[in-house]
Amino acid sequence: MAETATIPRPRREGRIRKLLERYPFLPALVIVAALLALNGFFSPASLSYRALTGLLSTYMALILLSIAQTYVVYAGDIDLSAGAILSLVNVAIIVLMERWGGGAGAVLLALAIGLLLGLACGLVNGLVVAALRLQAIVATFATSIFFTGLALYILPVAGTPAPAIFWRTYGGRLFGVPFVFYVLAALIVLITVMSRTRLVTQLLAVGDDQQAAYQSGLPVIPVRIKGYVLCGLFSALAAFCITGDTASGDPLVGGKMTLYSVAAVVLGGSALSGGWGTVVGSLLGALTIGLINSVVFFMGTPSEWQNFVQGLAILVVLMAGVLAGRRARP
């Protein structure tokens, strides 16, 4: 009897495992759905079209920053300067837009410079970590201070407003649909395209086993540098969103976001040790963080307890995700 009872079990576990292997972000998706339901339970209005649009436009920057972080985590590295790059690009484009008069041309030119700045910061990180072989955690922590220093030099105090054309576009509608949904759609196309590139496969192979990748003949150092460059570029995109959302420059705006981005990557089911993960997972991870904050708010938690409950909720979600994700990993 015992035997017949135990036979079907491994098969079913095998199926769940296969599913998780193909879509490692499934636990994160379930968690996002559960959090949405919780939000609806405490405040039905929080699930309205308007409220969700607001949530998305507030957390789009974190989503992009988490995606940026994912590419370096793929290779088993980490970037603690992602938030500082975001701040630097934020103040740089704000100051440039103001200097150049705030017209449409000035905005686009400033954004192009912002992207280049993100790329340059990523390149610095890549060279320091991969080429000079410094410890990723400490080295990017150091560059984050350096980038923050630059940001403070460009704009010593928060406050310079963004041109109206910029934040009205970001917060506004296009053909009746909120602009952030176009951003989200473009982002999904972008990460789908990215996932088919050779670079992403190479990043994952390097993160899987760096020695093996080197012995196989992969250009390990250039691959890791490119990972950091990609992170810099996506951090710049995140900076555009935060600028659109806050409509002003703040040299310290991204500092707190760095570790949130790392948390989002882990919540999304990626391995911090590298070689395993998805960008979609990180997107969902960032949404999870956003939804937790919103649940905590709608639950009516007294303000002095909000941080406490947030931290606890992230821990719980992390535990649930880890328990589910552990099965999927070969």
Q: Which residues sit at the interface with other proteins, rule CB under 8 A?
A: 21, 196-199, 201-202, 204-205, 208-209, 211-219, 275-276, 329-330
CA distances, 287 to each of 36, 82, 90, 267, 317 (Å): 10, 18, 22, 10, 12
CB of 329 to other proteins, least distance (A): 8
CB of 199 to other proteins, least distance (A): 7
CB of 14 to other proteins, least distance (A): 10
- The type of residue at 248 is S
CB of 304 to other proteins, least distance (A): 37
Nearer to other proteins, 187 or 223 (CB): 223
CB of 197 to other proteins, least distance (A): 5
Nearer to other proteins, 219 or 311 (CB): 219
Give the span between the Cα atoms of 215 and 285, in whole angstroms: 34
What are the φ/ψ torsions at residue 114 (nearest 5 degrees)?
-60, -45
Q: Minimal CA–CA distance to 55: which of 242, 291, 236?
A: 291
CA distances, 291 to each of 110, 141, 143, 195, 264 (Å): 32, 28, 31, 26, 12
Nearer to other proteins, 95 or 272 (CB): 272
How far the first Cα of the chain sits from its last, in Å, is 31
Nearer to other proteins, 6 or 211 (CB): 211
Nearer to other proteins, 18 or 99 (CB): 18
